[in-house]
Structure 1
């Protein structure tokens, strides 16, 4: 009878998971305040102030490893306000406001209805990206911040054509819940804004920016700065809504006063429709089905 070992390359040591699951209870030490727990299985230890560098590394690694395992290499990031509702919801808000006697409430509701146009364009754009790129050898995935408003529209557009999309949600004091259209295995939650923004850019082949507030402006200008300074490779930045953006930011003043160089305004493009945005991306990249990559 042979006693030869069958597994020449068997694991030499138990995995951390196996060891954690095999631990026998220790009544004298499995108590609050005990230092006996394995370090990687001790949440109280991992949450210590001194462990911040480790937690930052974990936040970098978790989304990175999951996306590697799922073969995700190219994304289009969609930024925009969490406060822009769908047209259906905005119309309902207007009708509700009209029943009241608050003129200011009605004015706000009517503005939301006007801005809801961007929700529908974001939804259509995400659908186009997902539908067309699904025929590629290397699909392009829509990425959003994972919350409501424009973020919801991006994930919804991908969902409605049967595609997957990514949501990079973040813990906020007022608790931002992930929208229901994100692919569950691609819904990530962040504590650190910096690492979340890094993940927005790591796989992106383009960034599409819809109207938004401080958060959207932060994401937009950080991306522009990284490209302007050569810290990351150039990629298309599409700004939806020429009228909105030119009223908000006077790029001509920046050029006239020497705050940016002539030509820096070419770092981005204004677009007003989903089709216009997709056409611009097709002019920048080989988007033909069957292409090996989106680079």
Structure 2
């Protein structure tokens, strides 16, 4: 080999550490070496799952929880989002009617069972709210049809990735061939993402904090349908961020004015002095998919930053 030639990829003569200590030098060397190679401390950190799941590694886990979704969202060009929340229990109308019929039949067969009667009443109320599934699906179609924004930006529906209203919004975007995002969370029980999320944009987070961050990081609007604790959690957190201006205010639309006014009475909160009158302007009400979209566009125009 000439001096000017680059060295080969593999050494022709092994280095001393490429061979274990000879048994002739120490008969116990092989046993000791085996103990070293199988010791948890010898595992590379990114392959040591016990270490990665330890309390000490919580910081890197938080970072990875954020980084994976951020990297893939960027790779797929998702720059803007409209976040949709709502109950997992609000099914599409046909399914809601089938569940209602089943609950009513069971209650009729067990007239002395108060729990059966309660379940029938709940099924009836959920059937009354099933039209919100159609509203959310239509809204998903509207947003999906506008997914390609100027300057190479891309708008996507973002939900928690579950059933009910979230499924409907993802499904609407899916109907028109638009990318749609689902942010699932690891829970103690088995769960499944709804089948209408774009496979490359379906995420499962370990930490609620990182999931919440990704909900608002690209959000251009928040739409809240009737829902339970999860919906209320995300709504009130966003309202607080907007109220305190920790986050720039954004259009927040509550779908179903009658329902929301019963859930929380902002007139009462103002009269009690716990919020200011101007805080009532942080959100608006809508009933239809078209009204939701109009409210968002109108808010953006007044704020001097059109969505499209």
Q: Is TM-score (shorter-chain normalized) higher than 0.5? A: yes
Question: Which residue of structure 2 aligns with residue 191 of structure 1?
Answer: 206
List runs of 5+ in structure 2 lacking aligned partners. 7-32, 109-115
Please, what TM-score do these two structures have when normalized by structure 1? 0.84
Question: Which residue of structure 1 aligns with residue 28 of structure 2?
Answer: none
Q: Match of 2:40, SS?
A: coil
Q: Match of 1:178, SS?
A: coil
Q: Match of 2:182, SS?
A: strand
Q: Which of these residues, 169, 185, 189, is aligned with residue 170 of structure 1?
A: 185
Q: Is the 8 A contact 2:297 2:307 kept in 1?
A: no
Q: Which of these residues, 118, 127, 136, is aligned with residue 113 of structure 1?
A: 127
| Residue 232 (structure 1) aligned with residue 247 (structure 2) | yes
| Residue 259 (structure 1) aligned with residue 274 (structure 2) | yes
Task: Map Cα deviations across residues 215-247 of structure 1 (whole Å, 9 max, x no partner).
Answer: 111100110101111101111000000000001
Q: How far apart, in 1, do the equivalents of 2:35 and 2:70 lie?
A: 36
Q: Which runs of 4+ in 1 moved over 4 A?
A: 29-33
| Residue 249 (structure 1) aligned with residue 264 (structure 2) | yes
| Residue 130 (structure 1) aligned with residue 158 (structure 2) | no
Q: How far apart, in 1, do the equivalents of 2:77 and 2:259 lie?
A: 37
* Post-superposition offset of 1:276: 0.4
Question: Which residue of structure 2 aligns with residue 64 of structure 1?
Answer: 70
Q: Which of these residues, 81, 88, 106, is aligned with residue 94 of structure 2?
A: 88
Q: How far apart, in 1, do the equivalents of 2:272 and 2:126 lie?
A: 35
Task: Map Cα deviations across residues 99-118 of structure 1 (whole Å, 9 max, x no partner).
Answer: 33244333222111111111
Moved more, 128-137 or 240-249: 128-137
Q: Match of 2:129, SS?
A: helix
Q: Indicate how the Cα distance of structure 1 residues 210 and 4 shifts in structure 2: closer, same or farther if over 3 A, else same.
A: farther
Q: How far apart, in 1, do the equivalents of 2:126 and 2:185 lie?
A: 24
Task: Map Cα deviations across residues 8-61 of structure 1 (whole Å, 9 max, x no partner).
Answer: xxxxxxxxxxxxxxxxxxx93697653222111222211111111110111111
Q: Is the 8 A contact 1:205 1:294 kept in 2?
A: yes
Q: Indicate how the Cα distance of structure 1 residues 89 and 37 shifts in structure 2: closer, same or farther if over 3 A, else same.
A: same
Q: How far apart, in 2, do the equivalents of 1:4 and 1:239 lie?
A: 71
Task: Compare the two structures and name the one with the higher helix fraction.
Answer: 2
For these two proteins, the number of residue pairs brought into alignment is 269
| Residue 104 (structure 1) aligned with residue 126 (structure 2) | no
| Residue 49 (structure 1) aligned with residue 64 (structure 2) | no
Q: How far apart, in 2, do the equivalents of 1:132 and 1:66 lie?
A: 21
Q: How far apart, in 2, do the equivalents of 1:278 and 1:216 lie?
A: 20
Please, what TM-score do these two structures have when normalized by structure 2? 0.81
Q: CA RMSD in A?
A: 2.4
Question: Which residue of structure 2 aligns with residue 150 of structure 1?
Answer: 165
Q: Indicate how the Cα distance of structure 1 residues 262 and 99 shifts in structure 2: closer, same or farther if over 3 A, else same.
A: closer
Q: How far apart, in 2, do the equivalents of 1:111 and 1:223 lie?
A: 27
